[in-house]
Structure 1
Amino acid sequence: MHPRIAVVGCGQWGQNHVRTLAEIGALAAVADRSFERADLFAERHGVKAMDTDEAIASPDIDALVLALPASMHGPTARAAFAAGKDVLIEKPIALDIADAELTAAVAKKTERLLMVGHVLRFHPVFQKLCTTVAEGRIGTVRHIIANRMGLGRFLGMDVVWDLAPHDLSMILKLANAMPRQIEATRRTVLSDATDIADISLEFPGGLQAEVHVSRVSPYRDRRFSVIGTTGMLVFDDLAPEGEKLALYGHKVWRDGPNFSFENAPVTYLPVCPGLPLDRELRHFIDCVAHRRPPETGAAEAVETVRILNAASPLGPAVA
């Protein structure tokens, strides 16, 4: 039997949680600042409509999914932990490091599960990429390049906070460490906040990564490239099915005082089908049911907020 889960926040992304949990059979209730909105989704899926406090206090709810404005994540999650609930919090879990650390500390003190909704960590292509790296098919990872570019969304949050968490989460997974150096360049172009940003990360051991995000690009780009000593992998989320994960066996080697290189034809790696959000929520359900630590837990949630603050120190809504 699935844990009984309530979704708090039925906005643009919260609706996806509601629908997916209903399909899985784990949705028990919905809550929203607008009771009319909560009632609409509750009726649609045959569950209870509650306000947030009721969902937190209800003995009929085992866990919560929070899809709220980021400023409300911390206080709501901490109240839920105190009431004995496990919580999945949409990214980012907070807007400053102190709030994020407090939420993580309360989860630990109350022995509750804290999972952050870094949904691309559960993308089957990214998971296959991680497996391929672990198998040593591209040697030692030396550099990662993440591009997340397109036109829109102007939601009162700058592009660093809106788009960069996706790729930062994937980079942290592959690095298996926290960056020791963070540098960022931000530009305001067409709005009142940061529209374009370049973030550079350096990790212990020499691994480097760069994240390029833009919401004023005339074209879309969703590529995540991993460069190793004996090959390269590219996760292109906009590529056709069957071509989303490319392996390049390119080689570079020292040739006397110089370097030589050899191009290799691309190989597209097969990937099992699956929807990232469905995988993420099933993972959360499994963690709640079997008391297992989540793949995207408190340490990663806090570190992501730390990087975001370093990259955009004036806050998410300021250039």
Structure 2
Amino acid sequence: MKPRIAVLGCGYWGSNHIRTLKSLGVLAAVSDANPARAEGFASEQDCRAIAPEDLFGDDGIDAVVMALPPQFHAEYAIKIVRAGKDVLVEKPIALTVPDAQRAVDAAHETGRVLMVGHVLRFHPAFEKLKSLIDDGELGTVRYIHSHRLGLGKFHTENDALWDLAPHDLSMILAITGSAPVEVRGEGAALLDHLSDFAHLHMRFANGLRSHLFTSRLNPYRERRLTVVGTRAMAVFDDVEPWGRKLAVYRHAVWQDSGQWAFTTNEPSYVDVKEGMPLTRELEHFIDCIATRGQPRTSGEEAIDVLRILTAGTVWHD
């Protein structure tokens, strides 16, 4: 039997969840603090509209996808799992590590699935990149850098780091398999007290280093993750068309008579089967509900992401 899933929060990203869950045949209800908005989606998608305060006790709902402002994530996730329902929480899981830990602990105590919406972990190009790394195609990974730049969106609570970096941090942690031992952040606020530009520099116990650059005041759009290994380099560029989203560069660098020499090679583009990351993410959530399995993007990993964000935050007056 398919699970009956409700979406709590019918804003921009919540509407994407609504339409995708409907296409998967599991959308049972929608809920929003604005009743008219919920009723509009309910009419459009032929499902029920439920007031948020009535959602938790509704026996016709098995699980909830939550797309609220992040300051409400932990509180409502705890209410949902204590009501006996599984939950997918959009990123970030919370605004503080203690709040996130309380949500994760509540899910463990109640035996419910808690998954976090780090959607790029389900991008076919990233999945293929991860398999290349695991198979040793790049050699030993020594450096990872990620750039996520563009114009907007502008939030009153989230800066460029907290809004844009969680996706990339989740991918970096999936590659490294461990949290960094050192995090250093730099930020710049131009519009108000929230950073519009942010850099994170990370060092891992095995010597691997990584940096991440995010901006919401950039004249062009960039969505690029680069992995530098001892055998090859790879670039996941989500701005490129499908046939060019994942490129492998087999450059060579060596020492000759005490001097460094190198050769460059044209990239080889890796064949990646097209697929919508959000659809694949929600399919994974549905599978975890059915099997009671551990989500790929678990609450524990989301806490590691939150610790990095907290350590790298630069506050502005």
TM-score (norm 1): 0.96
1:51-106 C-alpha deviation (Å, 9 max, x unpaired): 12322111111111000011111111101111111100000011111101111111
In terms of mean alpha carbon deviation, does 11-20 or 144-153 score higher? 144-153
SS at match of 2:56: helix
User: What's the counterpart of residue 235 of structure 1?
Assistant: 236
**Counterpart check, 1:41 vs 2:41:** yes
Q: Partners in 2 of 1:241 and 1:280 — Cα distance?
A: 19
Shift of 1:20: 0.2
Q: Partners in 2 of 1:236 and 1:271 — Cα distance?
A: 12
User: What's the counterpart of residue 165 of structure 2?
Assistant: 164
Q: Partners in 2 of 1:112 and 1:106 — Cα distance?
A: 8
1:122-161 C-alpha deviation (Å, 9 max, x unpaired): 0111111111111211101110010011112111121011
Q: Partners in 2 of 1:290 and 1:220 — Cα distance?
A: 39
Shift of 1:313: 5.4
Shift of 1:256: 4.8
Q: Partners in 1 of 2:105 and 2:228 — Cα distance?
A: 36
1:203-244 C-alpha deviation (Å, 9 max, x unpaired): 121111100011111121111100000100001111122011
Preserved CA contact (<8 Å) 2:186 2:314:
no
Q: How many residues align?
A: 316
SS at match of 1:220: strand
Q: Partners in 1 of 2:134 and 2:262 — Cα distance?
A: 24
Q: Partners in 1 of 2:68 and 2:310 — Cα distance?
A: 19
Preserved CA contact (<8 Å) 2:181 2:203:
yes
SS at match of 1:54: helix
Q: Partners in 2 of 1:160 and 1:263 — Cα distance?
A: 34
**Counterpart check, 1:273 vs 2:274:** yes
Shift of 1:167: 0.5
User: What's the counterpart of residue 257 of structure 1?
Assistant: 258
Preserved CA contact (<8 Å) 2:160 2:195:
yes
- What fraction of aligned residue pairs are identical, expressed as a percent? 47
Unaligned runs of at least 5 residues, structure 2: none
Preserved CA contact (<8 Å) 1:29 1:55:
no
Preserved CA contact (<8 Å) 1:230 1:252:
no
User: What's the counterpart of residue 102 of structure 2?
Assistant: 102
User: What's the counterpart of residue 210 of structure 2?
Assistant: 209
User: What's the counterpart of residue 297 of structure 1?
Assistant: 298
Shift of 1:173: 0.4
1:176-228 C-alpha deviation (Å, 9 max, x unpaired): 10111000111112443201111011112111110001111112111110000
After superposition, residues 1-319 of structure 1 pair within 5 angstroms as 1-156=1-156, 157-312=158-313, 314=315
Preserved CA contact (<8 Å) 1:84 1:110:
yes
Preserved CA contact (<8 Å) 2:242 2:274:
no
Q: Partners in 1 of 2:313 and 2:280 — Cα distance?
A: 31
SS at match of 2:138: coil
Preserved CA contact (<8 Å) 2:233 2:249:
yes
Q: Partners in 1 of 2:176 and 2:256 — Cα distance?
A: 29
Paired letter, 1:72: F
Q: Partners in 1 of 2:63 and 2:243 — Cα distance?
A: 36
Preserved CA contact (<8 Å) 1:190 1:216:
no
CA-based RMSD of the aligned residues comes to 1.2
Q: Partners in 1 of 2:212 and 2:257 — Cα distance?
A: 34
Q: Partners in 2 of 1:147 and 1:99 — Cα distance?
A: 28
Unaligned runs of at least 5 residues, structure 1: none
TM-score (norm 2): 0.97
Q: Partners in 1 of 2:60 and 2:216 — Cα distance?
A: 42
SS at match of 1:25: coil
Change (3 A) 1:98 1:313: farther
SS at match of 2:274: coil
Paired letter, 1:152: G
